[in-house]
Amino acid sequence: MNLSKSKTASSTNNSTNNLTSNLTSNLTKATKANWTIRDRQFIWGDRTYLMGILNVTPDSFSDGGQFNSRDAALKQVAQMSPYIDMLDIGGESTRPNAAAISAAEEIDRVLPIIAAIRDEYPDLPISIDTVKASVAKAAIAAGADMLNDVSAGRADPEMLPLAGKLQVPIFLMHMQGEPRTMQINPQYRDVVKDIQQFLTDAISVAKSCGIPKHLVAIDPGIGFGKTLDHNLELLRNLRAFQSIPAPLLLGVSRKSFIGKLCDRPEPSDRLLGTIAACSAGIAGGADILRVHDPKEVAEACRVSDAIFR
């Protein structure tokens, strides 16, 4: 073997790979408009951002009933705040088979918590996790900054027009079915291509409702109407979503597919599996990770960012 030729070929391949990587990175930054929310800048592609989860519900799959009082919520945010870039507050469970609640009940749950957190943390960006326009409107008035809709605006026809009127960022997620039915035999022709098309169409609908493209983020909806194999296929091919010019949110924290893979029936025991899935997400180009355990995931982000970004 000619060692000189081998070194030359290796050098050429490395240069080509580096060039391709740089072009991909630059393309990602060029097509995703950065966000400024309160005093924080979100420069997509520079690093991974963390969205802390605060469920103020009695029945969420992982932490139902733990943070649905003012004091418990504030204590949890105090623990998360050094590590998170934004906070996602939800008042209605979207776990499989979850029962729907009224808008009035959801508002009663989330508004006092949002107001209390806004008083204590005036610069912390807050998103409201809801599919109801009336809840979203009340939450924004109480101090929330963003909307996180797991139905991508399909559950309430007033949601996207509201976001267009308010001109606030919105996260649009893919879900097959609804929480009560989504895990009953979900099927796709091609899970990656189907969800790519869904999210592309969702952005178009949002734009028609007055929401600028630069205010839309996307979420493939891991665990929402997907089997174990669907979730793994999405994570393996997460780079495919870089073709959509929007920040990519990924929610894998404590999900049931991790429990199945690791034989961890209790969601709170899935931290190590969550970190592994989050690192895979960063390798696939995720911009934001939605997590229950930001302190531990933040360290994984630093290492993964250093490797993959």
3-state secondary structure 142-188: HCCCEEEECCCCCCCCCHHHHHHHHCCCEEEECCCCCCCCCCCCCCC
User: Could you identify the residue written with the tokens 């979420």?
Assistant: 219
Beta bridge partners of 288: 49, 249
Closest Cα to residue 53, out of 18, 83, 31?
83
Q: Given CATH 3.30.200.20, say whether it is the number of domain 51-149.
A: no
pLDDT at 68: 72
Find, among 244, 240, 253, the residue nearest to 218 by Cα: 244
Among candidate residues 290, 295, 302, 309, the one labeled active-site is: 290
Q: Is 290 tagged catalytic?
A: yes
DSSP structural state of residue 39: T
Among this protein's residues, is 255 annotated catalytic?
A: yes
End-to-end CA distance of the chain: give it in Å, rounded: 35
Helix (H) or strand (E) holding 107: helix 103-120
Residue 53: per-residue pLDDT: 97
Paired sense of beta strands 40-42 and 49-55, if any: unpaired
Query: What residues contact 186, with CB distance under 8 A and at least 6 apart?
Result: 176, 177, 225, 226, 227, 230
Q: How many CA atoms lie within 13 A of 147 on its CB side?
A: 34
In contact, 62 and 254? CB cutoff 8 Å: yes
The pLDDT profile of the chain, 309 residues, written as one tens digit per residue, is: 444 444 444 444 444 344 334 434 444 443 799 999 999 999 999 999 999 999 998 755 455 567 778 899 999 999 999 999 999 999 998 877 777 889 999 999 999 999 999 999 999 999 999 999 999 999 999 999 999 999 999 999 999 999 999 999 999 999 997 777 777 888 999 999 999 999 999 999 999 999 999 999 999 999 999 999 999 999 999 999 999 999 999 999 999 999 999 999 999 999 999 999 999 999 999 999 999 999 999 999 999 999 999
Q: What is the pLDDT of residue 27?
A: 41
Phi, psi at 36, each rounded to 5°:
-125, 120
Amino acid identity, residue 57?
A: T
Q: What is the pLDDT of residue 65?
A: 61
Report the predicted TM-score, pTM, of the whole model to 2 decimal places. 0.87
Q: What is the pLDDT of residue 62?
A: 52
CATH code 3.20.20.20 region(s) in the chain: 51-149
Q: Which of 109, 226, 255, 264 is flagged as catalytic?
A: 255
